[in-house]
Structure 1
Amino acid sequence: MFVIGDCATCHVSPGAENVLLLANGRAVTPNQDDQLLLGGGRVLETEFGAFHMPNISPHPEDGIGAWSLAEFTRAMREGVGPDGLLPDGRNLYPAFPYTSYQRMTANDVRDMFAYIQTLEPVASDIPDHDLKFPYNIRRGVGVWRLAFLDGQPIEYSPSTEAAAALSVEPDVLERGHYLVEGPGHCAECHSPRTFMGTIPQDMRYAGGANPEGTGYFPNITPDETGIGFWSANSIANYLRTGISPINKVAGGDMADVVHNTAQISDADRFAMGAYMKTVPAIDKPAPGMPEPNLTPEIVMLPPSATQVPELPTSGAGEIEAAETVYVAHTKTFFIDKAAVGTADGDGKLLGATELAVVDREDGRLKVRLDGWQMPEAERVFYAEQGHRILQAILGDASIEQVSRQESMVDPDTQQEWARSSLEVWIDDKDMSTELSALWDYSADLYNASCGTCHALPVKDHYLANQWIGNLNSMRRFTSLGDDQYRLLLAYLQNHSKDVTSRDPGAVE
């Protein structure tokens, strides 16, 4: 309950940033990295003013170490904390999502309290909230609570029709409903607010503005303008990996959430995904998002931005020490060392191509490409005899530099193939020293891009040459960039039915 309740996201002491946050460009204060030090201190800037997240560690003075279970339960259920001066307690601002936590069972609230009491006490001096008038008057929060808080569990009886449509048992939907509406408090971010700060029920989960003033929480209803095309499994996978069906990575506050939901059970993640497929679909595009096309006409939207995908590459030191490197981004090569970086080049090296490092000089590498060629296709290097796994495309000058052995006839295709090699110069950027890193990345691409619509075939379901047409026919339904597509195709071909992977440590 502590993890799915996302408690650490707000109440962790500054500096405890997780890997997902780092990957998405969040700033880090390197004073500590423990997600269980709940000394507070994060500042939530909103249109109402600044909320300073309090200390909820079991520190007896600065945290909640002196609270009783009854006081903790009242805070979770009623939004009232203990106050040394006022016998009726202190009204808590609904930036603390007790409007959702009120739906939690007494046992879960008790267990959460017991768990927090086992954590390390943290001493901290957190300032009061700095809010504008009249929001700085806590008594007004008491009136708000009386008007909009009922403290009752939500009655929910999942329909057998909804369960049957998802091929799940009703108790799966019931569990998902509890996690989403209660401890998960998903509606608190993914819904718009009225001027009173409440969620209009007819717009629940339809998306809303980030209270911090930057960004927008998306519509997560099963509408076309939301996540209607996501399956329950896709939602569950997103809660585990942070990667959407169209290969977008969770960022900002959602990266925090995924860091937590990745720790819950597969069954609970699936239950949440299944329940979200049953909430009312609401037509509400995000700002800048076009309305869905409901006509028979095919409309191709222009790209709103051109982004170079961030592929797994190795650092300069690793490349400097490596005897073998692998292409990540498509790389231009040169026959003349002096021409590196100054001309159009003599050909292209494609994703996942293995290169032996022969020489180094001033940020340039002389590398040897080993592969196979066909006499009638001298502009192309292939990774395997008999399989069209592209490694490189050659220009006129580079064709003349290829060293070829005697041709042989492939017994399966009855075509001539010759083992060949070529030495060229490249710059030392955008490469990996670990083929397994490229395969891991490509495996995630496969799951994210293809799993949206398909029950994924195992990668060795097809022959290497079959993957070319199969993947190309579906590319227009994805958002893959050229380099991502090349890596994905190389991954599938190198793990196909008739090819043995060149890397024994590759993803299985």
Structure 2
Amino acid sequence: MFIAGDCATCHATTNQKDHLKLGGGRAFDTAFGRFYMPNISPDPKDGIGNWTLAQFTKAVREGVGPADVMPDGKNLYPAFPYTSYQRMSANDVRDMFAYIKTLEPLPGKVPDHDLKFPYSLRRGIGVWRLAFLDGRPIENQSVATKPATNASAQHELVARGRYLVEAAGHCAECHSPRAFTGAIKAGMHYGGGPTPDGKGYFPNISQDETGIKFWAANSVVNYLKSGISPLNKTAGGDMAEVIANTSQLPINELRAMAAYLKTAPGVDKPAPGQPEPNLTPQIVMIPLQQHNVVLPISDATAVGKADSVYVVNTKPFHLDEAGFGTKGGEAGKLLATARLKVLERKNNLLKVKLEGWQVDGVQSAIFGMQGQRMMVGVLDEAAIEKLERGQKVASQSGPAWSPVSLTVWIDNTGLNTGLADMWSYSSSLYNSSCGTCHSLPEPHHYLANQWIGNLGAMRRYTSLTTDQYRLLLGYLQNHAQDVHAAEASAK
């Protein structure tokens, strides 16, 4: 509940990265003035260390804090989303309180709120609370750990999602327009609206064409997990901080949130500058756009200093430097993720050594790991003759494998000096290409050889280039269940 409630986003101590240090101090600019987020660490003087559970519950669900502790007296301003937290169950509030009490006490008093008149008069907040709080919690429905497969399970999933979205997650607090009173406008939940400081805009997330009606439930799940939308846009600003929390939630909780959001009534409210959707029979053709694909390639300077490099895009190789520039001089191809040891440099040419494995009966291919169809090289007959082979390793489940190596010449383009950039690029590619329709499985969900068929079957539904496809396949195979297990065993 601490993570789902997004507590650290507001209350973490400023100018540091530990989200469990809840010393507060963050400034929150609004049309009413500037709010400062209070210290909610267990510090007895400046935080909530001396609070009782009853006091904490009253603050969270009713917006009333102990007068001798809270900097803004008994009535708490609704910048603290107790209008949503009032829907939380007593047990969840209790558990949240117990968890916060285990964190580090942090002394330090935050500044007083700097609000315009008459909003600086706290007495009016009591009247506001009477008008806009009803104190009705939402039933905290548990949710199964697997996707819903029948109507009853789907109903439970939606019920759990309602609790997470409406109560703990308080999504409507940002994604809904406000009336002059500061309350959410009636009938406009999730219709989007200006940010509190008036400088930005929270998007419409209702089930309308101007919202996210076109998002599949799995797209919502993927967005809450990765921060990448079906349009391949990455969450930024305040939403990036929210994603930092939702990405830590179990996948079944994200499915529940998505299931509920897909039931929310639509609000026809385009964002500023956006047109109304075309709901007529008229067909509007969107101009074809072509984008140059940018791959994660290191510059020539970095490649020139590296002892080893990795292949990013499919590239031909030669058995000697004299073969460059001659017709028919190529002896094969190196494929994405192949690791090469640099032996020699001549101008823009590299003499490199490729090490890998071959399986009995397949001489024209080199694989990256024993027992795995992780192809890193394709050879012609001349290259096959130049292979250096080690002793065969018998296999209980199939043909024997032999360690092999091959020394070749390549140019210095299409290479990367480290895997981190390649994996980051490939992970983003996985989200943007597959997450539009699917709730993405973790790469280690499948075996390395299973990824060949799984990804290959879906390739025609993507716009991936051949190089992007091979790079993505290499990423998924290198992070597969049995590859991780083999690496852990080796260590």
Identify which range, 284-293 or 58-67, moves more after superposition: 284-293
Structure 1 residues 2 and 229, CA gap change in structure 2 (3 angstroms): same
8 Å CA contact retained: 2:218, 2:439: no
- Deviation of residue 103 (structure 1)? 0.8
Q: Secondary structure of 1:198's match?
A: coil
Amino acid at match of 2:209: E
8 Å CA contact retained: 1:467, 1:489: no
Q: Which runs of 5 or more structure 1 residues have no equivalent in the other structure? A: 17-32, 158-162, 337-348, 371-381, 393-402, 409-419
8 Å CA contact retained: 1:443, 1:488: no
Which residue of structure 2 lines up, in the alignment, with residue 181 of structure 1? 166
Q: 2:207 aligned with 1:226, yes or no?
A: no
- Deviation of residue 39 (structure 1)? 0.4
Which residue of structure 2 lines up, in the alignment, with residue 405 of structure 1? 382
Amino acid at match of 2:3: V
8 Å CA contact retained: 1:325, 1:433: yes
Choose from 65, 68, 72 the match for 1:84.
Answer: 68
- Deviation of residue 230 (structure 1)? 2.7
Q: 2:2 aligned with 1:2, yes or no?
A: yes
- Deviation of residue 463 (structure 1)? 7.2
Structure 1 residues 454 and 266, CA gap change in structure 2 (3 angstroms): closer
8 Å CA contact retained: 1:352, 1:487: no
Name the CA distance, whole Å, in 2 between partners of 1:156 and 1:307: 49
- Deviation of residue 97 (structure 1)? 0.5
Report 1:423-502 matches (<5 A): 423=409, 425-426=411-412, 431-434=416-419, 438=422, 441-442=425-426, 444-453=428-437, 467=456, 471=459, 473-475=460-462, 486-492=467-473
8 Å CA contact retained: 1:166, 1:274: no
Name the CA distance, whole Å, in 2 between partners of 1:102 and 1:123: 28
Which residue of structure 2 lines up, in the alignment, with residue 118 of structure 1? 102
Name the CA distance, whole Å, in 2 between partners of 1:310 and 1:130: 49
- Deviation of residue 201 (structure 1)? 3.3
Structure 1 residues 266 and 406, CA gap change in structure 2 (3 angstroms): closer
- Identity of paired residues, percent? 52
Report 1:188-199 matches (<5 A): 188-199=173-184
Name the CA distance, whole Å, in 2 between partners of 1:475 and 1:432: 28
Structure 1 residues 506 and 491, CA gap change in structure 2 (3 angstroms): farther
- Deviation of residue 187 (structure 1)? 0.6
Name the CA distance, whole Å, in 1 between partners of 2:103 and 2:475: 48
Q: Secondary structure of 2:177's match?
A: coil
Q: Secondary structure of 1:80's match?
A: coil
8 Å CA contact retained: 1:325, 1:357: no
Structure 1 residues 264 and 492, CA gap change in structure 2 (3 angstroms): closer
Structure 1 residues 172 and 504, CA gap change in structure 2 (3 angstroms): closer
- Deviation of residue 289 (structure 1)? 3.6
Name the CA distance, whole Å, in 2 between partners of 1:179 and 1:98: 14
Structure 1 residues 237 and 451, CA gap change in structure 2 (3 angstroms): closer
Q: 2:221 aligned with 1:236, yes or no?
A: yes
8 Å CA contact retained: 1:232, 1:273: yes
Name the CA distance, whole Å, in 1 between partners of 2:450 and 2:160: 36
Choose from 46, 53, 59 the match for 1:69.
Answer: 53
Amino acid at match of 2:182: G
TM-score, normalised via structure 2 length: 0.70
Report 1:101-500 matches (<5 A): 101-154=85-138, 168-295=153-280, 298-301=283-286, 311=296, 320-327=305-312, 357=342, 359=344, 366=350, 405=382, 423=409, 425-426=411-412, 431-434=416-419, 438=422, 441-442=425-426, 444-453=428-437, 467=456, 471=459, 473-475=460-462, 486-492=467-473
Amino acid at match of 2:461: M
TM-score, normalised via structure 1 length: 0.68
Name the CA distance, whole Å, in 1 between partners of 2:36 and 2:427: 41
Q: Secondary structure of 2:35's match?
A: strand
- Deviation of residue 263 (structure 1)? 2.4
Name the CA distance, whole Å, in 2 between partners of 1:64 and 1:355: 57
Name the CA distance, whole Å, in 2 between partners of 1:326 and 1:406: 18
8 Å CA contact retained: 1:219, 1:226: yes
8 Å CA contact retained: 1:443, 1:507: no
Q: Which runs of 5 or more structure 2 residues have no equivalent in the other structure? A: 142-147, 322-333, 355-364, 368-372, 386-405
Structure 1 residues 226 and 139, CA gap change in structure 2 (3 angstroms): same
- Deviation of residue 44 (structure 1)? 1.4
Name the CA distance, whole Å, in 2 between partners of 1:89 and 1:113: 20
Name the CA distance, whole Å, in 1 between partners of 2:68 and 2:140: 39
Identify which range, 193-202 or 34-43, moves more after superposition: 193-202
CA deviations over 1:413-439 (Å, ceiling 9, x no partner): xxxxxxx99845547x982422x8635
Structure 1 residues 290 and 369, CA gap change in structure 2 (3 angstroms): farther
- Deviation of residue 198 (structure 1)? 1.2
Q: Secondary structure of 1:10's match?
A: helix
Structure 1 residues 112 and 315, CA gap change in structure 2 (3 angstroms): farther
